[in-house]
Structure 1
Amino acid sequence: MKKATIKAAACLMAATVAFSSCIGSFGLFNKVLDWNKGISNKFVNEVVFILISPAYAVCGVVDLLVLNTVEFWSGSNPVAKVGHVENVWGSDGRQYAVKTLKDGYEVTKPTGEKVLFTYDVKHRSWSMQAEGQERELFRFNGDGTVEATLPSGEKKNVALSDEGIGSLRLAMGDGLFFAAR
């Protein structure tokens, strides 16, 4: 009886990993790693790393078998960095503050204006809210394509490939092409 229970548990664990295809974000492991990297002295950092190295193994296994699976099936990471603010440089050379929310991101422009990007699990879509208006940006279709909303309000299905993104850029008027001899 005991062998059957162990075999059933082993098969269940293997099936969880094999059939979920949940690579995930390894949030718990990365939280431990980020904390350890936050130690300012590299020698103290190395000592702490050696002392807590079993924690990395435990966190990695918990992420692999539990948290990444939950993230895959539910669409949300149970240990996401909600509330974390990251300062990023825009392509315009200005700095933006990006705050992680439970269901998306809040971007604060250098002018102080805020733009919200939110993910709707039910509709599998990303939306943007700015200046009191909300607009769906795109939604994931079940066939591996996305339905993008153009600035005109028109919907366009595109493949998640270089060609699909290229056709979307053309539709938005963002395509630049050069001819060479």
Structure 2
Amino acid sequence: MKKWITLIGILMLSFGSFANCFGKFGLVKTVYGIHANLPSGSAFLPKFIRTILMYFPFSWAYGIATFLDLVLFNLVEFWTNSNPIAAAEFDFDGKLVKEFQENGESLKLTYSQWGKELMIEADGKNGKDTFYAFSDKPGKLFRKQNGNLTELVEAEGPVLPVLSTY
């Protein structure tokens, strides 16, 4: 029996070393999110309650979530380059920010309300521009003008310059 436990322990440790990366630990964040927003009194009391909940009633949930994150979801993310638990990328308020830069131009995508709203900030050679997209209005982009969102209309066909005669 002792040999089997030793063998399983060695296999589990070597299995983790072959993974070569650490994932986002989405299940652990989900378990933590269950008791993360406790009502706040003093600064010490909510931390103390969260610590007690983490060690006692939720310890088995943390153990299972950590095991699944390390063994299953970490490998899937490593080999497919996609997160199987997409919500893990969002913070506890449902916000996700991704930034891209190339040749002095940048693009910042800010997802809010768990991906229902998207703010696109493009900063390039021609200046900065901000657009908005919503999951309930697919294929449409909006721009904020005078505090209101205005839909951008896509022109069909070639856009011709305005000819003026003076």
Which of the five TM-score ranges fits, normalised by the shorter chain?
0.3 to 0.5
Larger-Rg structure? 2
| Greater length-normalized contact order (CA 8 Å, ≥ 6 residues apart) | 2
Calculate the TM-score normalised by the size of structure 2: 0.45
